[in-house]
Amino acid sequence: MQIKRGRLSMVCVCVVLGFLLALQFRSTRDFNANLPYQRTEELAARLQQMEKENEVLRQSLDELKEASGVEKYSKFSEDMKMISGQTAVEGQGIIITIEDSKQGSSSTNDPNLYLVHDEDLLKVINELRAAGAEAIAINGQRLTAMSEIRCAGPTLSVNNVRTAPPFEIRAIGNSKDLVAAINMRGGVADALKVWGIVIDVQQIEKLYIPAYKSSNQFKYAAPTEKQEGE
């Protein structure tokens, strides 16, 4: 009797032990499979893939647009396309190159002061527009009415495309006015040079500015005949 009962308890314990072992084994394996960094890698790979697909689709869209030839070439639509950045433009203008400070930041100062930020570029862009710039592009990204300029980690995002310093801002307009606006005493260039940020302005006779590469889609806004106050 004694032996039989002992054997039964042993069997029960073995069942429980095996159960626990398997459970622990499976859980450990699941944890290893679900590490967060793997998720990050997966997302980054997917983002890259999507960007590639996007590029391909954009190209086919351009081809189709050319092939269809429906677009009217009136003066008005040409102007509209230039304003909205749908066509590449050429003309006299300036190239501004802005780069992070070469000065090693001292330990007492905030290293952020020595880097180019979205605010700096926004100030420059604003100055250019005030001086009558007709078309502006940052690192090949044409600025439109809906373009954003913002910090995205160590890089900058313009038209949802990330670029890293040095930033090349191209602007078409009266090049003398544009240069004067940037180099104004106490203006943007002066403010940035205090921190050693390298800013270089170049006048170009025939400057090329690319078109806005994505397509505009209006999800919420629709044209209306209503007048203000109605």
Partner 1 sequence: MVYSFLGLIIGLLLGFFVPWSIPKAYSSLFSVALLASLDSVFGGIRAAMDGIFDDRAFISGLVSNALLAAFLVYVGGNLGIDLYYVALLAFGLRIFRNLGRIRQYLLKRQ
The residue range among 27-35, 81-89, 110-118, 184-192 that interacts with partner 1, by the rule CB under 8 A, is 27-35
Give the one residue of 14, 57, 164, 184 binding partner 1; rule: CB under 8 A.
14
Of 15 and 191, which has the nearer Cβ to partner 1? 15
- Do residues 147 and 137 make contact, with C-beta atoms less than 8 angstroms apart? no
> Which among 198, 173, 195, 203 is positioned nearest to 105, based on CA atoms?
195
Cα dihedral 22, 24, 25, 30 sign: positive
Please, is 178 exposed, middle or buried when counting C-beta atoms within 10 Å of its C-beta (0-12, 13-18, 19+)? buried
What is the nearest approach in angstroms of partner 1 to the Cβ of residue 35?
Answer: 11
38 binds partner 1 (CB under 8 A): no
Beta-carbon neighbour count of residue 140 at 10 Å?
A: 14
39 binds partner 1 (CB under 8 A): no
Longest distance between any two alpha carbons in the chain, whole Å: 108
26 binds partner 1 (CB under 8 A): yes
What is the nearest approach in angstroms of partner 1 to the Cβ of residue 9?
Answer: 4
Binders of partner 1: how many residues, by CB under 8 A?
26
22 binds partner 1 (CB under 8 A): yes
Of 15 and 50, which has the nearer Cβ to partner 1? 15
What is the nearest approach in angstroms of partner 1 to the Cβ of residue 39?
Answer: 15
Q: Count Cβ neighbours within 10 Å for each residue of 146-167 and write b for 16 or more, e otherwise.
A: ebebeeeeeebbbbebebebeb
Residues in contact with partner 1 by the rule CB under 8 A: 5-28, 30-31
